[in-house]
Amino acid sequence: MTLRLDLLRHGETELGGGLRGSIDDALTETGWAQMRAAVAQQGPWDRLISSPLQRCARFAEELGERLNVPVHHDKDLQELHFGVWEGQSAAALMETDAQDLGRFWADPYAFTPPEGEPVADFSARVLGAVERLHAAYAGERVLLVSHGGVMRLLLARARGLPREQLLNVEVGHGALFALAVESGGLLREAS
């Protein structure tokens, strides 16, 4: 049986762009508006699953209350931890760590930011969470409120992209995508 998994990226955050990772900053008013606009005229959902970081969780809780659907938080659906790069922009890293940033962009599985989470571990964490969601909620439509990295990973897998193209997947603030999740972790984009 198929799980319909809609993916919603959090909106703009107070600390702005850059590698947010585990930083727990809040949404701006623009960020709230981006997310509200993304889900208008969408659904219905049987439940909402969210990263516990407030830029995702606060919106999921508001939406769940408004729609009267349960909300669950799953730490395995948090963003990649970028180690010492957390909070820095690509532009700033180009000035201080251009060679390593280039290695990370070329193949994020082959290079881990200093003190960061290896992308292979991140991938195993996220895909394991999605398999648990399928096992628990197959046959339902679920909205996952999460992060750019989580969504890039799932979309790249659904599109059959090579690992080197992970960071080429475009996922803007407030972006909404749909996946069909089958048994065995098979992912495909849905309409």
Residues 120-148: tens digit of each pLDDT? 999 999 999 999 999 999 999 999 999 99
C-alpha distances (whole Å) from 157 to each of 37, 73, 112, 128, 154 are: 27, 23, 20, 13, 5
Torsion angle of C-alpha atoms 151, 5, 33, 72, degrees rounded to 10: -100
Assign 180 to helix, strand or coil.
strand
47-50 and 141-146 beta bridge pairing: parallel
| Predicted confidence (pLDDT) per residue in 41-97, tens digit | 999 999 999 999 999 999 999 999 999 999 999 999 999 999 999 999 999 999 999
pTM of the model: 0.96
CATH number assigned to the domain with residue range 3-189, chosen from the 4 options 3.40.50.300, 3.40.50.720, 3.40.50.1240, 3.40.1160.10: 3.40.50.1240
Q: Which two tokens stand for residue 179?
A: 């996946």
Query: What pLDDT sits at residue 77?
Result: 98
Residues 145 and 82: their CA atoms lie apart, in Å, by 20
Could you tell me if 173 and 28 are in contact, meaning their C-beta atoms sit under 8 angstroms apart? no
Q: Locate the domains of the chain by residue range.
A: 3-189
pLDDT band at 17 (very low <50, low <70, confident <90, very high): confident
Bridge partners of 189, per DSSP, are: 179
Eight-state DSSP code of residue 79? P
Q: Which two tokens stand for residue 22?
A: 């585990």
